[in-house]
A = this chain, B = another copy of it.
């Protein structure tokens, strides 16, 4: 946790916060903070700065806030990711959030097992929690726009073309073309397939929606590794 993220309900005054639970435990046991210390803090969806510890014990952490700067800007990137295995979803959402993606869409694909969609990890509170962990890691306060597209075709045919818009749409697909370009018009919309890849019909639909194929090279990377490598390359 590189930023203590405050929720609106933590504010007891405009410049004063009081919190407990997971974040209190973390500040006590990992940061090992003491009264008088300054912590890096941010208000969810708002500004960032310092919080001076006024009180810290087993019940509560109380902070005097000085929020003097804006969070880092989001990168103009929509990630369209075929729903990974439930145990991987958490890492993918946290990693994509930490990288600063503005929007994350988890989408169905032929090779996504149906049972994945029933996972409790897809509950809104669970996804939001993972995104918050990503913000705490990165030092950011603004949640990405995070949504589920349970049906592939309506999303790809009716919504994706508008997302690509005047920017660049890319679909990662092995052996589909040359190496990834290093610069291109933003916003960028990047689709990453399931472990077994997109099937031909899906790949064709994505191309019809305005996406261009993108070859990641001879190695097959895990979803979270591939998206970090692509973000590093493109931004």
Contacts and interface: CB of A to CB of B under 8 A. Distances in A.
Interface stretch (A19-27, A50-58, A215-223): A215-223
Contacts of A228: 221, 224-226, 228-229, 232
A18 B140 CA distance: 51
Contacts of A95: 222, 225
Stoichiometry, as copies per complex, reads 2
A31 B229 CA distance: 27
Given A224-B225, A228-B225, A232-B231, A219 B182 contact: no
Interface string A169-199: 0000000000010100000000000000000
Contact of A229 (B219, B222, B231): B231
A98 interface: yes
Contact of A232 (B100, B140, B222, B233): B233
A83 interface: no
A98 to B, nearest CB: 6
A72 B217 contact: yes
Contact of A222 (B72, B137, B222, B231): B137
Interface string A75-119: 000000000000000000001001110000000000000000000
Contacts of A221: 98-99, 137-138, 228
A224 B217 CA distance: 19
A62 B158 CA distance: 48
A60 to B, nearest CB: 25
B229 A99 contact: yes
A173 to B, nearest CB: 14
A213 interface: no
Given A138-B219, A139-B220, 19 more contacts: A72-B217, A72-B218, A95-B225, A99-B221, A137-B220, A137-B222, A138-B221, A139-B218, A180-B232, A182-B182, A221-B228, A224-B225, A224-B228, A226-B228, A229-B229, A230-B232, A232-B232, A232-B233, A233-B233
